[in-house]
Amino acid sequence: MIQLEERIAVVGAGLAGSLVAHALAQRGAKPEVFDKSRGTGGRLSAARLGSMSADLGAPVVEQPVAARLLAQCATLPLEAWEHKAADFEGVAAAAVGRYVAVPRASALTRHLLQDIPLHTQVRVTAVEAAASGGWHLLSEQGETYGPFARVVIAAPAPQAVPLLASAPALQRAAAGVNMSPCWVLVVQLPVRPESVAQLDWLEAGDDVLARACRDSSKPGRGEGEVWQLQASSDWSQRYCEAEPDWVAEQLLETFAQQIGVPLQPLQQRVHRWLYADVAEAPLVPSLASPLSSDHTLGICGDWVGGGGAAGAVTSAEALIAALEAGR
């Protein structure tokens, strides 16, 4: 059972970790969140693009996931996105309910964590038993945090493995997960390309690009012409270790070829998500519980719930249920 004033560490400020921390605080516990990045969001992060910003990770939240999120926190800054979609041949796509956080994707996790202590730029390297009971977190910088009654690991599976040394079943589950990378390029263009003047979302282009999304069409965004180009999973895997400048050149050139317009971006930013999605997770579904045998260590994240934002939400719901039930 979750105890009032129980001090709980959550390692990872992505969607799953933020949902768990929010739920713990709502139930009277005292969560503290740790993340190696400068902000929150994980794959819901936004990036600076000169004086502007753009969503750097997951471009949207699908309607079924948005409904589940709003059921847990009705005040989340989520808005429906009215947009026009097509494939790269110009064939209109069926209407799909998509939501976005306003004014940028990371607003979602910032809202969930707004009243919760947050330690950023802290890379947790070990979880060790405290002499007085509970757990200490050790950081790459040599700092020690805690003790905490419980620790929740909400990091990608490969990063979770070394933190789960005291929970063998959970560690084996994490070690059995393969995650796939994804290259993303965000660009600001001087004007909107005429060939896509009526489109905001282009899907399934070719072997290089998976999709192109007009970020500046989303609700709450500022002025400017900003697009997010997401490479396909296979292409990202093939060129996972390629030079970022070369990757940016390939993605931009492919997009220009697909829409039939030469492009000269005003500014751009390329990013590799090394653990973008779940490629294979053979052991996770067989786990009896997302908690260790003594219920003091837990896991959540998209890799626990089957991948994507839906998997992140599912894993957070399962972990909170297990903590409440004491199992």
pLDDT in tens, 189-221: 999 999 999 999 998 767 999 999 999 999 999
Q: Among 273, 288, 300, which Cα is nearest to 325's? A: 288
Three-state SS at 70: helix
Q: What percent of the chain has pLDDT over 70?
A: 98
Find all residues with CB under 8 Å of 259, minimum gap 6, and list them: 88, 193, 195, 196, 202
Same domain? 195 vs 311: no
Average pLDDT over residues 125-134: 95
In a domain, 211, yes or no: yes
Same domain? 90 vs 186: yes
Band of residue 281 on the pLDDT scale cut at 50, 70, 90: low
Average pLDDT over residues 70-98: 90
Give the pLDDT confidence score for residue 124 in this predicted structure: 98
In a domain, 184, yes or no: yes
**Please, are residues 47 and 56 in contact by the beta-carbon 8 Å criterion?**
yes
Same domain? 244 vs 305: no
Higher pLDDT, 132 or 285: 132
**Please, are residues 150 and 9 in contact by the beta-carbon 8 Å criterion?**
yes
Domain that holds residue 42: 7-47+109-177+281-325
The 10s digit of each residue's pLDDT in 153-175 is: 999 999 999 999 999 999 999 99
Give the pLDDT confidence score for residue 260 in this predicted structure: 93
By mean pLDDT, which of 18-27, 45-54, 134-143, 235-244 is the weakest?
A: 45-54
**Please, are residues 84 and 198 in contact by the beta-carbon 8 Å criterion?**
yes
Same domain? 269 vs 210: yes
Same domain? 27 vs 127: yes
Average pLDDT over residues 87-115: 91
Cα–Cα distance between 93 and 321 in angstroms, integer? 38
Band of residue 327 on the pLDDT scale cut at 50, 70, 90: low
The mean pLDDT of the chain is 93
Same domain? 37 vs 134: yes
The 10 Å Cβ neighbour count of residue 265 is: 18
In a domain, 305, yes or no: yes
Give the pLDDT confidence score for residue 326 in this predicted structure: 75
In a domain, 61, yes or no: no
116 CB burial (10 A radius; 0-12, 13-18, 19+): middle
Band of residue 286 on the pLDDT scale cut at 50, 70, 90: low
Give the pLDDT confidence score for residue 245 in this predicted structure: 98
Q: Supply 104's token pair.
A: 């940028």
In a domain, 201, yes or no: yes
Same domain? 87 vs 225: yes
Average pLDDT over residues 293-304: 95
Give the pLDDT confidence score for residue 280 in this predicted structure: 72
Q: What CATH number does residue 255 fall under?
A: 3.90.660.10
**Please, are residues 10 and 154 in contact by the beta-carbon 8 Å criterion?**
yes
Same domain? 125 vs 155: yes
Average pLDDT over residues 104-124: 96
In a domain, 69, yes or no: no
Domain count, the chain: 2
In a domain, 317, yes or no: yes
Same domain? 275 vs 307: no
Find all residues with CB under 8 Å of 82, minimum gap 6, and list them: none
Q: Among 225, 215, 218, which Cα is nearest to 190's? A: 225
Find all residues with CB under 8 Å of 182, minimum gap 6, and list them: 230, 231, 233, 236, 272, 273, 276, 277
In a domain, 2, yes or no: no
Q: What CATH number does residue 141 fall under?
A: 3.50.50.60
The 10s digit of each residue's pLDDT in 136-146 is: 999 999 999 99
